[in-house]
Structure 1
Amino acid sequence: MMQADRFAGTTALITGGVSGIGFGIARAFAQAGIELVLTWRNRAHRDTTARWFADHGLPSPRFEHLDVTDRARWAELAAQLGPVHILVNNAGISVFGPTDCATHADYDWIMGVNFGGVANALVAMLPGMKALDGPRHVINVASMAAFCAGPQAGIYTASKFAVRGLTESLRYNLMPHGIGVSLLCPGLTQSNAWDSALKRPARFAESGFPAIDADELAQFGTAFDLGMDAFEVGCKTLRGMIDNRPLILTHPDHREDFDAIAAELLAALPDEPIPAGRAHIEDLRREANRAALAGSQIRISDLT
């Protein structure tokens, strides 16, 4: 296990860090002596967060206005912020509706924020992080939807599956540079994530989803009141980063789902011999993964 104080004095950039899970992570990090840069879009949430830090005698974060889909703004931040040792890609939207009715606008909005926002952050911030020494870490926040699909969350689920796949691969790429990578998949958490549908930008107005029923949406929001406290999620995230865990699961609620997924996967495998050539290629892939985690940079030639 790593030293709990090894990240003290480093700087963390947390997107969407002024509410919900992002704010929970920010509080946990601040209490561990990590300096904070928090991005925001809602002025009221930003001001509430600033007051919380002042009231608790903790150093004020640096606040930066950011739409995570804005690549030009990402480039500005990368040039202006100075050293960033920890990148937490937390900002996202929770928008639901029947996937068979979705339009291009629905796909572009949800995927653009939830996956595109992560990609934009990595392109902007990784060069600077790779140039630093000492402890560094990337945390990509997905959701239990990265494992568990549902009938009302097709595009949201796709975005979280995409973040999961990207993060698992990125760990192999960044380990040789001494940068840890974790996928955070929280379950139901107390937050305002349920009202994302009310914040749809005008350029994505042509939705195929049913018109928003305010009462139905508010009823859906009551589920979030039953969720885990965001600070508890933040504390578990901090521990996962300190231990350099590839996967940080904060909720014990999904064992039944994982049992069913594992059983379905194993049952779907054909029970037949594997040709020696194919088996050799898969062995090379596994060996390359092990070598990457041990610090080697892997080339395409290592896979054949």
Structure 2
Amino acid sequence: MSNQTGPWQGRVAFVTGAVTGIGLGVAQAFADAGMRLALSYRNEDDKARTAQWFAGKGYEQPLFIKLDVTDRDGFAAAAQQVVDHFGEVHVLVNNAGVSVFGPTDEASYADYDWIMGVNFGGVVNGLVSFLPHLKASQGRRHVVNVASMAAFLPGPQAGIYTASKFAVRGLTESLRYNLAPHGIGCSLCCPALTRTNAWTSALKRPDGIGNSGFPETSQAQLEQFGTAFEEGMDPYEVGSKILAGMTAQDGLILTHPEHGPDFEEIHERTMAALPQEDAPEGRLRIEQLRREAMKAAEQGLVIELDDLT
């Protein structure tokens, strides 16, 4: 086992999509921090390579659970399996996702159902399945929902993907207020370019999901797109930054420093769009109540509808 000590030593974490890419980086960083792990996977070869890494480190083998994150019954069973195996579960990392792109105006219902079903629906399934168990556990606990910089930065080929990540962002930023009274931390992580095989998602469209409206993308085009990922951040670095953000109780974990110009442009464009006029006192009072309620919620108070008027 790891000889590390710290706030996460011995804590049990469940990570989805955890045998490749960012999920694996998270799992490795967590293991180095002394955490006990349950990891979801789809591919047996990737699972075997991950098991070898743990064995080489002399760490406890994770509990590997084969899971399609869109399978609600499977997710519920996975949550129960983790609790039965470890006794408690303290950390949930909803990481699994698909990176599929195409012109949004040509998308079919099936494109929406698949991308939203995995990227947003998978997070929902994780929360519904695991939150009761996190609430029933003791000590330091945390939820991390991994979105993407697409939660802030839309693109012409990424409409549905962007929508799914905006949805995860909104859900997580609201959920943070609901989990605070239970003593459970909650973070939104938005990584940018990372050295993963996410570009292969388009090759993994499930059977029976329905036909895509996107133009067919050749293997050569996908491989060329994949070369961008070779410039990406090491997944272990992303995982380490997620661990540091959890430790600091950060609501927002940004892993890549290169997006300052984008956020400055968003701020300037947003401020410029505000009407230059005075707001009536009644509306100003309601908005101030909202701000105060949000601050109180973050401190662990339960906010009711009556607190907002």
- 120, 134, 155: which is aligned to 1:115? 120
1:80 aligns to what?
A: 81
**Mapping for residues 92-171 of structure 1, pairs under 5 Å:** 92-171=97-176
Residue 80 of structure 1: CA displacement? 2.2
CA offsets, 1:261-286, max 9 Å, x none? 00000000001011111111111111
Residue 178 in structure 1 maps to residue 206 in structure 2? no
Cα deviation per residue 1:101-148 (whole Å; 9 max; x = unaligned)?
001000000000000000001001101111122100000000000000
Separation in structure 1 between the aligned mates of residue 45 and residue 82 of structure 2, nearest angstrom: 23
Post-superposition Cα deviations, 1:134-189, rounded to whole Å, max 9, x if no partner, equal: 10000000000000000000000000000000000000000010000000111100
Distance in 2 separating the partners of 1:202 and 1:264: 42
Which residue matches 2:71? 70
CA shift, 1:71, in A, is 0.4
Matched to 1:264, the amino acid is R
Identity of aligned residues (%): 61
TM-score, normalisation: structure 1: 0.98
Partner in structure 1 of residue 47 of structure 2:
46
Distance in 2 of aligned mates of 1:23 and 1:78: 19
Q: Does 1:239 align with 2:244?
A: yes
Separation in structure 1 between the aligned mates of residue 249 and residue 197 of structure 2, nearest angstrom: 29
Q: For residues 53 and 31 of structure 2, what CA distance do their matches in structure 1 show? A: 12
Structure 2: where are the runs of 5+ without partners? none
Q: In structure 1, what residue type is equivalent to 2:266?
A: I
Helix, strand or coil for the counterpart of 2:246? Answer: helix
Give, in angstroms, the shift of residue 230 of structure 1. Answer: 0.5
TM-score by length of 2: 0.96
Amino acid aligned to 1:205: G
Specify which of 275, 278, 286 is matched with residue 281 of structure 1.
286
Shift of 1:202: 1.7
4+ residue runs over 4 A deviation = none
- Whole-angstrom CA distance in 1 between matches of 2:32 and 2:305: 43
CA distance in 1, matches of 2:136, 2:296: 22
Give the Cα separation in 2 of the matches to 1:238 and 1:53: 18
Tell me the distance in 2 between the aligned counterparts of 1:132 and 1:84: 6
- After superposition, give the CA deviation of every residue in 1:183-240 in whole Å (9 maximum; x if it has no partner): 0111100001000000001222310001121000000001001100001111111101
Match of 1:35 in 2: 36
Distance apart, 1:77 and its partner CA: 1.7
Count, aligned residues: 301
Structure 1 CA distance for aligned equivalents of residues 32 and 206 of structure 2: 35
One-letter code aligned to 1:58: Y
Paired residue type of 1:240: G
User: Residue 16 of structure 2 corresponds to which residue in structure 1?
Assistant: 15
- Per-residue deviation, 1:56: 1.9
Q: Residue 80 of structure 1 aligns to which amino acid in structure 2?
A: Q
| Counterpart residue identity of residue 131, structure 1 | A
In 2, Cα distance between equivalents of 1:210 and 1:268:
35
